[in-house]
A and B are shown apart, each in its own frame.
Chain A
């Protein structure tokens, strides 16, 4: 237990991070920044899991395990996403979402 810091503080931080991530995903124009927003969302989930595990269920380790897996999967997801973004750059000479608009409604 971390002295003097209640669980709510962690949850508030993670909630703010989650919605900052969603906001960034919607408003940002650069594909790499959009990817960074997704990492923010995933990390807010990690904070949630670790805080819940540490404060509420210190007897088991499910939350910690889940966090480790999320980190690993997020890394592989970022790797594939960056590979595809490089491919986008080859075709469009830009990674701005406003230029990547060959298909639209």
Chain B
């Protein structure tokens, strides 16, 4: 193994170096502006990492096939990197507050290590690397959810997240142990050759799918989601709802397409039921929510159901649609969460009722929120429409007409509750609306990036073509 071979792990190595540099900065910088320097340094480093990620990357396998990388893997990591950068920029305002000002480097270190874990998870070529990446992505997130020391809700969110994710890892591992017992290997390529429909293998698949469904918060396993999203700090909630979920969907899709390709008819049935349940129940629960974070938690459950539509098709178009939709979803959800974070950090208000008459006092914020919600609902001028369109096309191409019909009905239901928020902002009158405030530079920057993304990704077909050229289907 030569030194150059390590360059295959470019994304992970760069992020590790970044995490180490943040730690060094905390130790060696002795200045009264230390925390501002750390924040600026880490955002500069993350921007560099994101840009370097787009340079042409070598492909191949490392460590005897434990780590694999190809154009598609690099693309998925770049999508996550973009979202990660936006989350970091959004959290600057919150990191400046008195409770957190002395702990900036902890937050940035933990957040970086979760991204390293997700990158390893996506690039895994065997179940050991997959498991290690998954845990590296999960454990620091639990610590981050409990980050606000003086908030009861935050502590409760942390304990709920760590216990339910530990249980889901246990179930997942039980499935992996059965896969190992029946095939004698933990490498994806070797398992795919011999994996069939023996009873123990079917059981193994069910345990595996249940464990992954916990991570993606698909409906029978979604009960932790709303509580954790409500209790955790807003920036962690946005991170959980886009980046963690996106990474879990990506790797679930890769494993289904490679390891379980012999039992494709079986997993399509499972995903079918999960998808219908997720969309419907996520939407119905979202209607009755009052807290905006909880509201977006249920809406993100419903969006995961839409993502499964691309997974179920098992084609190249399906994978393209999933990555494309995840990219759009990152921008639209982060725009919505950015507005919520700006308002919550300034006034502490998080309920839909508090947003009454927001347009009269803060017209720009309410316009951005409207665009983001329109994109989540899938209304044409913004990118969300194109994402949903390709997902539905991918499923319909494989003959899942009934599923597409249910998805379209659900899209209409989701439009209803997204418009409830828009109505509160534009039409409802309020005696004491949220007063006008000037948001700081970082919030404005992140929101502008999100809004630009919402329009550019929808109209620049080159992005879709690029993703399509990297994806692969079930038959390869």
Contact = CB atoms under 8 A, between A and B. Distances in A.
Contacts of A29: none
B342 to A, nearest CB: 23
A53 B162 CA distance: 30
Contacts of B226: 103, 105
Contact of B155 (A21, A53, A76, A91): A91
The 8 closest A-B pairs by CB, nearest first: A41-B170, A48-B177, A52-B181, A45-B173, A84-B158, A91-B152, A57-B184, A103-B227
A54 to B, nearest CB: 11
Contacts of A42: 169-170, 173
Contacts of A100: 156, 159
B162 A81 contact: yes
B184 A56 contact: yes
Which bracket fits the contact residues of B? 35 or more
Contacts of A80: 139, 142-143, 162
Given A65-B128, A80-B142, A41 B171 contact: yes
A85 B155 CA distance: 8
A31 B131 CA distance: 24
12 contacts: A38-B166, A42-B173, A52-B181, A62-B186, A69-B131, A73-B131, A80-B142, A80-B162, A81-B142, A84-B158, A102-B231, A103-B157
B128 A69 contact: yes
B115 to A, nearest CB: 18
Contacts of A53: 180
Given A76-B139, A88-B156, A45 B131 contact: no
A13 B197 CA distance: 25
A66 to B, nearest CB: 6
The secondary structure that dominates the B interface is helix
Nearest to A31: B159
Interface string A61-94: 0110110011001001100110111011011100
Contact of B170 (A21, A49, A57): A21
A41 B176 CA distance: 13
B226 to A, nearest CB: 8
A84 to B, nearest CB: 4
B149 interface: yes
B135 A77 contact: yes
B180 A87 contact: no
Residue of B135, B153, B163 ringed by the most chain A CB atoms within 10 A: B163
Nearest to A43: B170
B180 A49 contact: yes
Contact of B174 (A31, A41, A76, A105): A41
Contacts of B227: 103-104
Nearest to B129: A69
Given A38-B167, A66-B128, A85 B152 contact: no
Given A69-B128, A73-B132, A80-B142, A48 B174 contact: yes
B163 A88 contact: no
A35 B174 CA distance: 17
A87 B186 contact: no
Contacts of B181: 48, 52, 56
A41 B150 CA distance: 33
Interface string A29-59: 0010011001001101100110011001100
A62 B162 contact: no
B185 interface: yes
Contact of B159 (A18, A22, A45, A84): A84
Contacts of B184: 56-57, 60
Nearest to A78: B166
A81 B186 CA distance: 28
Contacts of B185: 62
A65 B131 CA distance: 12
Contacts of B127: 66
Contacts of A77: 135, 139, 162, 166, 169
A84 B140 CA distance: 12
B180 A63 contact: yes
B180 A84 contact: no
Interface string B56-96: 00000000000000000000000000000000000000000
Interface in B398-449: none
B263 interface: no
A45 B174 contact: yes
B135 A73 contact: yes
B178 interface: yes
B159 A103 contact: no
B230 interface: yes
